[in-house]
Amino acid sequence: MAKGNGLKVIVSMIGLDGHTTGGEVVSMLLRDAGFEVVYLGVNQTPQTIVDAAIQEDVDAIGISSHAANYSLIEELMDLVRANDLDDVIVVCGGNIPRKQIEQLTARGVAKVFTPGSASSDIVDYLANNTRRSNAAALPA
């Protein structure tokens, strides 16, 4: 499957959130779809995630979230902007209530995937909405 076309995506938990199942499943389905996944795992801070995004020169950051107060994701958005990573989209996945989805979207989160999202929704969205999505086939 070439939909991912070599696009590079971080998948990470944020803060003390130890629920890894969602992030691991999404990493797998993105890899199967041809994305390059940088899986950061647990205990990441907004700073370590942004550092990794710069070092790895990723096209998107995916945050897996299982119940939080979402301020860490908001801080991540501020850091993304402060580091001139505006062309790196941030998406979230998890059991995030509708009200918080509105707030996160207002802070610049590109898209929130709620539980039950189809793998094709996630794959298609990332394939079509990153900075390099419109480029022809990327060099391997």
Partner 1 sequence: MKRETDYGYQIKSVYSPEDIEGFDYDKDLGNPGSFPYTRGYHAEGYRTRMWTQRMTAGLGSSVQANGVLKKYREMGQRGGMCVISDRVFSDCIDPDHPNARREAGVLGWPGCSLLEFEELMDGIPLTGQSITLLGSSAPTVLRLAYVVALARKRGIDPSEVHGSVMESPFENYFGQTDVQPFDLNLKLWLDASEYVVRNKIRMRSSVISQHFQESGGNNAQAIAVVLSMYKELCGKLVNERGLDFDDAAMVPYELVSIGSRFFEEIAKVRAMRRMWARMAKDHFKAKKEKSCQMLIAVHTSGRTMTYQQPLNNIARCAIQTLAGAIVGCTALDNATMDNAYAEPSALAARMSLNTQHIVAVETGVTDVVDPLAGSYFVEALTNQVEAEAYRILKEIDDLGGMIAAVEKGYIQTMLREEAAKKFREVDTRERLVVGVNHLVIAPEEDFEIPIQEVHEGDSEAIATRMETWKKTRDMPLVTARLRQLHADAGKGDRFNLMPAIVEAVEAYATAGEVIGVIRMARGLSYDPFKVIDCPYDFQLEAA
Interacting residue ranges for partner 1, rule: CB under 8 A: 15-21, 24-25, 28-29, 42-43, 45, 67-69, 71-72, 95, 97, 99, 114-116, 118-119
Please say which residue, 20 or 129, places its beta carbon nearer to partner 1.
20
What dihedral angle (degrees, nearest 10) is formed by the CA atoms of 110, 131, 65, 97? 10
Are 21 and 91 in contact by the 8 Å Cβ rule? The answer is no
DSSP H helix total and E strand total for the chain:
5, 5
CB of 26 to partner 1, least distance (A): 9
CB of 131 to partner 1, least distance (A): 27
Please say which residue, 82 or 99, places its beta carbon nearer to partner 1.
99
CB of 130 to partner 1, least distance (A): 22
Residues 6+ apart with CB under 8 A from 17: 42, 64, 65, 66, 67, 68
